[in-house]
Each structure stands twice: as structure tokens, then as C-alpha cells.
């Protein structure tokens, strides 16, 4: 676990907690990793997400290019329900889906935020626990997974 801005990392892929792709990206006000990746990597990341992928199942994962980010890919997970709320189930399933997809894509290094702990309203320690559990239970895992925490106070508390 490290503290920092996930979109400034140089790993193969970063994970973005997204919704189920119900609403066009241009009608949304992205928060957290979604906003940071759009601002630094370009709107083409979200354009690709919505043009190539339809409705995502809760906990599902899809990959897009990373635009101008240093990473190669962004793995978007449907960690948030329709009303932008996360649950233990949605976060755990999303983490497992991200690990599986990353492995299938040949990702060696994956940066993952505390899924659902921002907009989704889940407590940071719960998100971290669910990500760790998913890692331990997963049959497919990238070689290196780094949980990246943006907020210093949250990082210090964990």
C-alpha cells in the first residue's frame, strides 16, 4: 500500500471504480480516480469506455486504453450501484474481476484505489479488507498489486 495519486503511477494498469455505465459520461461529474484519469489522461478514456462497452454487470470489469496516462490500460470496475453507492459485494466482486482481467491481459503491475471508499460511501478500512480478501481468494493475480491511497489522513489511519 502506498500513498499518492494513482494516475501518476507507472504500472501497466490502474483500476477505476465506475458505475454500471448507465448514463453517458458527458452527463456525469466524475469524482476520484474517474475525474483524475479524465483530467490527466484525457476524455478519450471515458469515450472509449462508453463506445466499446455497454451496460456493465455489478462487479464487472472492462479495460480501455489509458490516453495520456503513463499506464498502458485503465481497468474500469462496476463497483458502484445505480445510485453511486458501493456495497461489500460490489467492491469484493469488482476487485476479483479486476485481478482476473488484469491477469488475462498480461498485466504485471496493477494499481488499485480503495474501491467504493470515496463516492461509494464505504469505509476505507472495509474497502482495503475486501481488496485483500479478493487478492487472497483469487486464482488469477498480477505479479504486483499496489493499493494506492490518495488522502494522507486515510493512509495514516490504515
Tens digit of each residue's pLDDT (9 = 90 or more) over 86-132? 999 999 999 999 999 999 999 999 999 999 998 899 999 999 999 99
Q: What is the pLDDT of residues 44-58, one digit of tens each?
A: 988 898 888 878 899
Do residues 77 and 15 lie in contact, with contact meaning Cβ atoms separated by under 8 Å? yes
**Domains of the chain (ranges, CATH numbers):** 2-157 (3.40.220.10)
What pTM does this model have?
Answer: 0.90
Neighbour tally for 34: CB within 10 Å: 23
Amino acid at each position: 500500500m502506498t500513498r499518492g495519486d494513482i494516475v501518476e503511477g507507472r504500472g501497466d494498469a490502474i483500476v477505476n471504480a465506475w458505475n454500471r455505465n448507465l448514463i453517458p459520461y458527458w452527463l456525469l461529474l466524475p469524482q476520484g480516480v474517474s475525474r483524475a484519469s479524465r483530467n490527466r489522461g484525457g476524455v478519450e478514456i471515458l469515450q472509449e469506455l462508453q463506445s466499446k462497452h455497454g451496460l456493465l454487470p455489478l462487479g464487472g470489469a472492462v479495460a480501455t486504453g489509458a490516453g495520456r496516462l503513463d499506464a498502458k490500460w485503465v481497468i474500469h470496475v462496476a463497483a458502484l450501484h445505480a445510485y453511486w453507492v458501493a456495497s461489500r459485494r460490489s467492491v469484493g466482486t469488482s476487485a476479483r474481476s479486476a485481478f482476473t482481467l488484469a491477469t488475462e491481459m498480461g498485466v504485471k503491475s496493477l494499481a488499485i484505489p480503495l474501491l467504493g471508499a470515496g463516492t461509494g460511501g464505504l469505509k476505507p478500512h472495509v474497502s482495503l479488507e475486501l481488496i485483500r480478501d479478493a487478492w487472497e481468494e483469487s486464482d488469477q493475480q498480477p505479479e504486483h498489486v499496489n493499493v494506492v491511497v490518495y488522502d494522507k489522513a486515510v493512509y495514516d489511519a490504515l
